[in-house]
Amino acid sequence: MQNNKKGYLISFEGIDGSGKSTLIINLKKYFEKNLKNKFIYTREPGGTKEAEIIRNVLLDAKNDISYENKTEILLLLASRYEHYTKLIKPALKEGKIVICDRFIDSTIAYQCNNNDSLKQFFLNVSSFLIKNFTPDLTILLDIKAEQALARIKKRNKNNRYDKRKLDFYKKVRQEYLAQEKKFSRISLVDASKNADLISKQVIEIILNKIS
Ligand code: TYD
């Protein structure tokens, strides 16, 4: 484990519409019955008061807002640094299991996808802030972009990120799959399956990791 920490950071990743939120609700129910005080649930961008303010800046749905790529990465990293320093690091020191809805793989997949120079920029700045810190386990919910987009269309959300198109999500998915090939901490889960089956599978993966 990194940084002499005693707990675990478990991140959840996947393109929008992969069923991540439903899965996390199911996991909460399970872990609230079992091991209640050991778990903390959090999300990115956000997770602390300060980081949630940056989240609102990022997700603002105004039509005329479009940040430079590097600005967007810096905002995400600013939010992550607040979150990591104030919430994640202390919780891990206390031995908690931190369940985090999105973390570094989102930034690589969404902001850096297919662009090596952006990836380098992200990794360099990130290493100044959180060194080589990575989750202990990452659950990647994988689903075809077409299927995910059909699910998103049924929801009535409308933040800046919800306006993206099929091609964008196809690229994000490919980048996630490339990450999964590189890092053994990432566990691939077929998100097209039934929600109960997925929850059972993921609970097993988590229990395996923390036992
Ligand atoms: P949210 O409504 O929470 O979506 P979801 O339930 O799918 O997680 O919005 C989070 C959005 O932020 C999501 O579209 C992905 C995006 N995001 C990035 O683009 N880069 C990042 O580094 C992070 C953490 C999130």
Q: pLDDT digits over 104-128, tens only?
A: 999 999 999 889 999 999 999 999 9
pLDDT score at 173: 97
Looking from the CA of residue 15, the nearest atom of ligand 1 is 7
Domains recognised in the chain with CATH numbers: 8-210 (3.40.50.300)
Residue from 9, 11, 16, 151 to probe ligand 1 pocket by mutation (most atoms less than 8 Å from CB) = 16
pLDDT at 1 over 50: no
For residue 128, report the distance from its CA to the centre of ligand 1, in Å: 23
Name the burial class of residue 209, with classes exposed (0-12), middle (13-18) and buried (19+) by CB atoms within 10 angstroms of its CB.
Answer: middle
Global pTM reads: 0.94
Q: pLDDT digits over 172-199, tens only?
A: 999 999 999 999 999 999 999 999 999 9
φ, ψ of residue 41 to 5 degrees: the values are -110, 135
What's the sign of the alpha-carbon dihedral 76, 163, 151, 167? negative
User: Which residue's CA is the nearest one to ligand 1's atom 22?
Assistant: 107
Which of 202, 174, 190 lies closest to 11, judged by CA?
202
d(CA 154, CA 149): 9
Six token digits for residue 208: 């395996």
Residue pair 95/7 in contact by the 8 Å Cβ criterion: yes
Q: pLDDT digits over 123-178, tens only?
A: 999 999 999 999 999 999 999 999 999 988 887 667 777 778 899 999 999 999 99
86 pLDDT tier (thresholds 50, 70, 90): very high
State mean pLDDT over 79-99: 97
Residue pair 7/100 in contact by the 8 Å Cβ criterion: no
DSSP string, 50-117: HHHHHHHHHH---TT----HHHHHHHHHHHHHHHIIIIIHHHHHTT-EEEEES-HHHIIIIISTT-HH
Q: pLDDT digits over 90-110, tens only?
A: 999 999 999 999 999 999 999
Q: pLDDT digits over 20-64, tens only?
A: 999 999 999 999 988 888 999 999 999 999 999 999 999 987 768
